[in-house]
Structure 1
Amino acid sequence: MSRWFLSLALLYLIGTSNALGSALVRDAPRQPLQQAIQYYEDTSASLTLEQVLQQTLPWQANGERVLNKGYSNSRWWLKLELDNPTSKTQQRYIEISYAPLDYVNVYVMDGGNLLAEFHMGDRRLYRERPLDSPNFVFPVEWQPEQNLTLYLEVHSEGAMQVPMVMWKQKAYFEHQMRLETVQGLYWGGMLIIVLYNGLLFISLRDSTYFWYVGSVLFMALMFTTLSGQAYRYLWPNAIQWNNVALLFMICLACIFAGQFSKEFLRLKTLMPRMNKLMSGIMGLCAAIAAVSWWGPYHILVQVVVGVTIVLASMAFAIGVYQVYLGDRSARWYLLAWSVFLLGVIVITLNKTNLLPANFLTNNAAQIGSILEVVLLSFALADRINREKLLRFAAQQALLQTTEKMKEDLEERVQARTQDLEALNLQLEQLSQTDQLTGLKNRRYLELKIEEEFNRCARYNHVISVLMIDVDHFKSVNDQYGHAGGDECLRTIASHLIGGVRQPPDVAARFGGEEFCLLLPETGSKGATVVAERIRQSIHGSVISSDEAMFSVSISVGVYTQTGGDYNGEQALKNADAALYQAKEAGRNRVVVYGIT
């Protein structure tokens, strides 16, 4: 019974002490101190520790929520009474887990005695901190049954919030290791995305990837600065830079994210007015970044937070509109910005004391950012795939068009080739044909004689040549004119064509009124028969010209090569010699070379 009574009494004392702003040092790994905090706002920012101890100030109990006063120019004094009810010495770490606070001065009092003091803040050198931590952590030690009073003087141009937790030393280091693991995973994921998309930018030369990589990089630096890790690892001695780094990173992240949105969603083409508005917001961010070194930080940071909300809201609205238009990539974009916008809204409400401070609200924007960049990577990958499909479709269409053009060209070339071949054949025939008579000309005859004589010589075959001359052709021209002479030659040509085999026989005009017949595979007897048949046919025909009618005769010389030296030129001479004999013998006759 007495044990139950003691337990109830202990619970009553704990509740009473919490209500009065004091707390017992419990045997717990982690102990929140929100209810133990009493605070006073020093609007004049002039009170010293001695004045605080001497004056009776209207301390206010904080309650269950994390102390969060938004953006304030005042100095805030915090008071905590912490009792060690045990008979053992107790050692604890007290952590203020909000790294952007400018000045945090801690005074540990035992009654009127100052036992220890710590001076921290992101406007002091990092190495001056009592513990190596991105947040503000200091040790406190209680003697048995000792009551200590902690006074904290806190001032910051940024958001004013003081989340305080008391840790056992082992629990604190385990907690710190978990946080650093999470930060490492966050940075690792961001770096993978930066490197992957950076390589894509180098490979594709698409500026969209450059702006995306920049937005991811500066967003990661922004949250790393906000968590205090940047001051810890990147610039621990750069106090002035650390004071403006967060503002600077937010501005650059907005600029790169805005330009990425403009190019990814093709705002210049699809939404020119929205493109100009976003360019104006990016210009404002650039101006804030430029004046961040000497401008009023507490005003600039609130402006930047507002600009960030406006930019994220615009991106969300543009994404909605693009999805409405049916842009497939805009779906990923809208989802990404929705997640990030939710994170920005949560952390903004947290900084303005409209939402309680906890792990989710303190890291909402960071969680939203990693989800956003992953989703935007999906959006870029989807765009790559769509562009690849479009390029493939375009290549297929181009290939089909090329094939069609190739086929058309081949058909045209083939038709043109046929036309050219026909034209060449026609030209060749014209070049080989006597225009008046339609017979082959002397040039063709000489080529054919050489060809046929070589062939007959190779196989020792017989070949005959006939030389033909119109008897008294000059008198025909004199009596009937050139028209009569031309008609005479045409008539003789028609008889020659009708009297030979074509092919392989060749009938040609040798020149003037002379004609020649080439008869391959024809002996002397056969050649004589052909010559006689043609002579009789011409002698018995009547030639009409300009109502005049007349007849002519021809003389024929025949030469047959049956062996020996096959020489076409000599054969022509021999046939011509036989023709001369026919003329001398009285004309209108056939004479065979070598036969008297």
Structure 2
Amino acid sequence: MPLDIITYPKAADDERAMYLWGGAYFGIMAIMLIYNTFIWLAMRDFTYFLYLLYLTAAGALQFALFGFGFKYLWPDNPGFNNEVIIFLTPFMQLTAVIFVLKFVDIENTGTKLDKAIGVTLFILVTLLTIVSLSLPYATVLTLGHIIGLSAVTAGIYIGIKGWMRGVKAARIFTIAWLANLIFIAWYLFDITGMVNATVIGGQGIAIGSIVELALLSIAFADKINQEKELRISTQQELLEVQLDTNIKLDNKVRERTQELEAVNEQLARLSITDPLTSLYNRRHFDKVYIDNYYEAFRYKKSIAILMIDIDHFKRLNDLNGHAFGDLCLIKAAQLIRGNIHRPTDLVARYGGEEFIVMLPDTVITDALNIAESIRKAFVSTIVSEGRHSEAMTVSIGVHAEIPIDRENWEKLLKDADDLLYQAKNNGRNQVAIAS
């Protein structure tokens, strides 16, 4: 083998240059490996894993070719370094072939010729990887260089076809393999003496692999972006369809909801309304009254109750018929409600011909005035229908108090009811209050 006699300073300069190239190469490889590992962990794309495998194999091969493996990892076993190199040479090509076939999706996009080339290269590098440790060093490297050149040429061919089909990532893919081919050829010409030896030529494989792997990383990222854009576009179309469907469904649901709310509102009104007089019913009155009684107790305010009963209603009903009796009840409701003006006041039909009025924040004198106005309204009103005509009078019991016991709300109702019967016993058509 050729020998050169050089000075120690020249040898030191050559070693520093080698370390400089090696440091730059492995620094770049480490950055690409870490960066793409994070991407693979985020995306879990199997093609990215194949790229990482190819990247690792290429870096490991260069680690052995630079002599760093022999120097740092197995310094006592020089023969092992050759075994590592002759194994990693075809193995790196195997990972490259598998990655490319997966990257271009040759199974679905390639022609029969493309698939035949891919299968042939896969079989050759697989066989060479398996038998590499049993063949002579020179034979493995020679076959590796031949298959490697063929694989790079096939990669350029596949890339150009994709480029012609308008695949954006294929342009960078083609340039990556073309750059690698140029540096491999330069390296081979350099070591065989066909061109003048240079530092760049001697590091051709390393430089070519860096350029190729960097460009493949860009091409792969571009391919991922294109697929992402396609997915986003498809998802956007589906989303628009979904949104349109949702809008129609929402409108339909809104219509049904509004109809249901209207029905529920009507049912709610019916559940608290007396159907004949349209006043509140007793159940609703009891609920609202208790809440107001609690509030009057809390704020120490007076609350008044008017118990109203139509005088001799049974006789009026029997003489004129139930239809006329119902008309009298409706008219009575209108007269009572016509004398109640505050939103907080509540008028309800308490049962039969009996009505009740709740007057929050009202003292006994004000309640008495309201009761008298109701009584006079009845006296001045005649109910007529056809040949039936009757005057109505009412008896009213009025009571008011400032609650001193929160739970004693029933007593106020009982006191008002007792006063109502007192008014009836005293001759009717009058208002009775506590003496």
Equivalent of 1:340, from 172, 180, 188?
180
Tell me if 1:528 matches 2:372: yes
User: In 2, Cα distance between the equivalents of 1:227 and 1:462?
Assistant: 102
| Displacement of 1:313 | 0.8
Tell me if the contact between 1:197 and 1:213 (Cα under 8 Å) persists in the aligned partners: no
Tell me if 1:592 matches 2:429: no
Matching residue of 2:384: 542
Equivalent of 2:392, from 538, 553, 559?
553
Matching residue of 2:332: 492
Tell me if the contact between 2:97 and 2:118 (Cα under 8 Å) persists in the aligned partners: yes
User: In 1, Cα distance between the equivalents of 2:289 and 2:66?
Assistant: 106
Alignment of structure 1 residues 9-24 onto 2, 5 Å: none
Matching residue of 1:294: 134
User: In 1, Cα distance between the equivalents of 2:352 and 2:150?
Assistant: 104
Matching residue of 1:193: 28
Matching residue of 1:153: none
Q: Where do 5+ consecutive residues of structure 1 fail to align?
A: 1-95, 98-136, 138-165
Residue type of the partner of 1:373?
I
Q: Where do 5+ consecutive residues of structure 2 fail to align?
A: none
Secondary structure in 2 aligned to 1:468? strand
Matching residue of 1:305: 145
User: In 2, Cα distance between the equivalents of 1:564 and 1:338?
Assistant: 99
Matching residue of 1:579: 420
Secondary structure in 1 aligned to 2:308? strand
Tell me if 1:278 matches 2:126: no
| Displacement of 1:281 | 1.6
User: In 1, Cα distance between the equivalents of 2:115 and 2:353?
Assistant: 93
Structure index of larger Rg: 1
Matching residue of 2:275: 435
Matching residue of 1:258: 97
Alignment of structure 1 residues 508-527 onto 2, 5 Å: 508-519=348-359, 521=362, 522-527=366-371
| Displacement of 1:271 | 4.0
| Displacement of 1:341 | 0.7
Deviation digits for residues 537-568 of structure 1, max 9, x if unmatched?
2xx11247xxx846463432231437797975
User: In 2, Cα distance between the equivalents of 1:269 and 1:478?
Assistant: 98
Tell me if the contact between 1:499 and 1:530 (Cα under 8 Å) persists in the aligned partners: yes
542 and 272 in structure 1: CA distance in 2 versus 1, 3 angstrom threshold? farther
Secondary structure in 1 aligned to 2:133? coil
User: In 2, Cα distance between the equivalents of 1:565 and 1:223?
Assistant: 97
Matching residue of 2:310: 469
| Displacement of 1:255 | 1.3
553 and 280 in structure 1: CA distance in 2 versus 1, 3 angstrom threshold? farther
Equivalent of 1:367, from 187, 201, 204?
204
Tell me if the contact between 1:337 and 1:372 (Cα under 8 Å) persists in the aligned partners: no
Tell me if the contact between 1:555 and 1:582 (Cα under 8 Å) persists in the aligned partners: no
334 and 178 in structure 1: CA distance in 2 versus 1, 3 angstrom threshold? farther
Matching residue of 2:87: 248
Higher share of residues assigned strand: 1
259 and 418 in structure 1: CA distance in 2 versus 1, 3 angstrom threshold? same
| Displacement of 1:367 | 1.6
Equivalent of 1:380, from 217, 225, 232?
217
| Displacement of 1:533 | 0.9
Of stretches 551-560 and 263-272 in structure 1, the one that deviates more from structure 2 is 263-272
| Displacement of 1:368 | 4.7
421 and 543 in structure 1: CA distance in 2 versus 1, 3 angstrom threshold? same
User: In 1, Cα distance between the equivalents of 2:375 and 2:13?
Assistant: 122
Tell me if the contact between 2:274 and 2:281 (Cα under 8 Å) persists in the aligned partners: yes
| Displacement of 1:337 | 1.6
| Displacement of 1:376 | 2.9
Higher share of residues assigned helix: 2
User: In 1, Cα distance between the equivalents of 2:49 and 2:84?
Assistant: 22
Secondary structure in 1 aligned to 2:321? helix
| Displacement of 1:192 | 1.6
Tell me if 1:319 matches 2:163: no
Tell me if the contact between 1:200 and 1:209 (Cα under 8 Å) persists in the aligned partners: no
User: In 2, Cα distance between the equivalents of 1:505 and 1:223?
Assistant: 95
Matching residue of 1:151: none
| Displacement of 1:312 | 0.1
Residue type of the partner of 2:97?
G
User: In 2, Cα distance between the equivalents of 1:220 and 1:571?
Assistant: 96
Deviation digits for residues 292-325 of structure 1, max 9, x if unmatched?
2334766655443322112101211223334444
User: In 2, Cα distance between the equivalents of 1:247 and 1:356?
Assistant: 24
| Displacement of 1:510 | 0.5
TM-score normalised over the length of structure 1: 0.56
User: In 2, Cα distance between the equivalents of 1:503 and 1:237?
Assistant: 103
Tell me if the contact between 2:311 and 2:392 (Cα under 8 Å) persists in the aligned partners: yes
449 and 488 in structure 1: CA distance in 2 versus 1, 3 angstrom threshold? same
Deviation digits for residues 249-298 of structure 1, max 9, x if unmatched?
22011012223334444555554864674354233212112122334766
449 and 221 in structure 1: CA distance in 2 versus 1, 3 angstrom threshold? closer
Paired residues in the alignment total 412
Tell me if the contact between 1:332 and 1:375 (Cα under 8 Å) persists in the aligned partners: no
Tell me if the contact between 1:523 and 1:562 (Cα under 8 Å) persists in the aligned partners: no
Alignment of structure 1 residues 4-83 onto 2, 5 Å: none
User: In 1, Cα distance between the equivalents of 2:291 and 2:63?
Assistant: 97
Residue type of the partner of 1:195?
A
User: In 2, Cα distance between the equivalents of 1:188 and 1:564?
Assistant: 93
Secondary structure in 1 aligned to 2:278? coil
Tell me if the contact between 1:344 and 1:365 (Cα under 8 Å) persists in the aligned partners: no
User: In 2, Cα distance between the equivalents of 1:484 and 1:272?
Assistant: 98
Matching residue of 1:356: 194
Tell me if the contact between 1:543 and 1:549 (Cα under 8 Å) persists in the aligned partners: yes
Tell me if 1:446 matches 2:283: no
CA-based RMSD of the aligned residues comes to: 4.7
User: In 2, Cα distance between the equivalents of 1:462 and 1:186?
Assistant: 99
Tell me if the contact between 1:467 and 1:572 (Cα under 8 Å) persists in the aligned partners: no
| Displacement of 1:505 | 3.3
Residue type of the partner of 1:440?
Y
Tell me if the contact between 2:398 and 2:416 (Cα under 8 Å) persists in the aligned partners: yes
492 and 217 in structure 1: CA distance in 2 versus 1, 3 angstrom threshold? closer
User: In 2, Cα distance between the equivalents of 1:294 and 1:562?
Assistant: 113
Tell me if the contact between 2:156 and 2:178 (Cα under 8 Å) persists in the aligned partners: yes
